[in-house]
Amino acid sequence: MSAPPAEPAARVELRQERDIAAARIAVSKAMDAMGARALRKTRFVTAVSEIARNALDHGGGGVIEIYRLERPLRIMIRCRDEGPGIADIDRAMTDGFSTARSMGKGLGGARRLVEAFRIDSRPGAGTTIEMEAKPS
Amino acid sequence: MSEAASIYTVDKVLLVAIRDNITDTDIINLQEDLSEKIVNESARGVVIDIAALEIVDTFVGRILAQLSSISRLLAAETYIVGMRPAVAMTLVELGMDLPGSKTALSLSHALRSLKAKGLA
């Protein structure tokens, strides 16, 4: 994972279900501040919802940091958890793979909805996901 | 019933308005409350208004599809109304086009369809 570009514009702890909504709202606000188009925002916020739920369900909670990157202007989020990690990332990214209450479209779906997707996970070392999107 | 969704009955049709801050637990509770209400009120039609939802992710999408299936088994027809265009486009990309769920652009369109079928 690359070093943080700057201080995050916002930070949301993922400890309970309602924090998933809090993360969506924080990302939505950050994109509004960039003048993001409705479809761009919906796609990115949906992807954030998927990975936030993933961090809560599989990672036992975590934290989402929201960054505003310049030149070109884009939003970046980093979601970290200290859960058990994902043993087989390729398999976890495949639609239909599910270990909990999702339909198994969550991670693969999130990757399709964003412009850049990076995942770093090792068994026992937690999972970090970074996603980026342009506002328009 | 939680604050995150409310169920109203109009002409034997159950109207459900989902609020944007609904949590996973709320929506699972809604599934249970709605199933019981369909039976208790002999409802033949259900309209779920998701206009307040800024996004529908795979979890909420799956619950909406399940709500439609449960209603159908209990002899009620369900319409999902008020979906935002960006939500529809995103759901298709997620591979969730809600098969088995009927949709209508608005509450009045859904009610008209239900009335035409004699279900309202």
Please identify which residue in the block is written with the tokens 């976890």. Answer: A92
ipTM: 0.89
Minimal Cβ distance to B58: which of A21, A38, A103: A103
The per-residue pLDDT for B24 is 86
A122: closest CA of chain B, how far (Å): 25
Q: Decide if B1 contacts B19 (C-beta within 8 A).
A: no
Chain B residues touching residue A43 (CB < 8 angstroms): 86, 89-90, 93
Average pLDDT, chain B: 91
Give the domain ranges of chain B. Answer: 5-114
Mean pLDDT confidence for A38-49: 97
Query: If you write DSSP's letter for every residue of B35-69 in order, what string do you get?
Result: HHHHHHTT-SEEEEE-TT-S---HHHHHHHHHHHH
Asked if A97 contacts A91 with a C-beta cutoff of 8 angstroms, the reply is: yes
Q: List pLDDT tens digits, range A75-113.
A: 999 999 988 888 778 777 776 665 555 546 688 899 999
pLDDT-derived band at A33, boundaries 50, 70, 90: very high
Q: Is A96 helix (H, G, I), strand (E, B) or coil?
A: coil
**pLDDT number for residue B104:** 95
Query: Average pLDDT over chain A, rounded to whole?
Result: 89
CA distance A44 to A110: 8
Cα A101 from Cα A38, distance rounded (Å): 28
Please name the fold of domain B5-114. Transcription Regulator spoIIAA (3.30.750)
Grade residue B4 by pLDDT with cuts at 50, 70 and 90: confident
- Tell me, what's the pLDDT at B1? 46
Phi and psi dihedrals of A11, rounded to 5?
A: -145, 130
pLDDT value for A120: 93
- CB B78, CB B71: distance < 8 Å: yes
Report CB contact under 8 Å: B54, A109: no
Task: Name the closest residue on chain B to residue A106, using Cα atoms.
Answer: B58
Per the CB < 8 A criterion, the answer to whether A25 and A19 are in contact is no
- In the numeric block, the tokens 């859960």 are attached to A83
pLDDT per residue as tens digits for the range B66-112 = 999 999 999 999 999 999 999 999 999 998 888 888 999 999 999 99
Query: What is the C-alpha radius of gyration for chain B, rounded to an integer number of angstroms?
Result: 13
Which pLDDT score is estimated for A89?
Answer: 81
For position A88, what pLDDT does the model report? 77
For chain A, domains (ranges, CATH) are: 10-133 (3.30.565.10)
Minimal Cα distance from B56: which residue of A? A46
The band of A55, judged by pLDDT with boundaries at 50, 70 and 90, is: very high
- Edge-to-edge order in the sheet of strand B102-104: B5-10, B13-18, B45-49, B77-81, B102-104
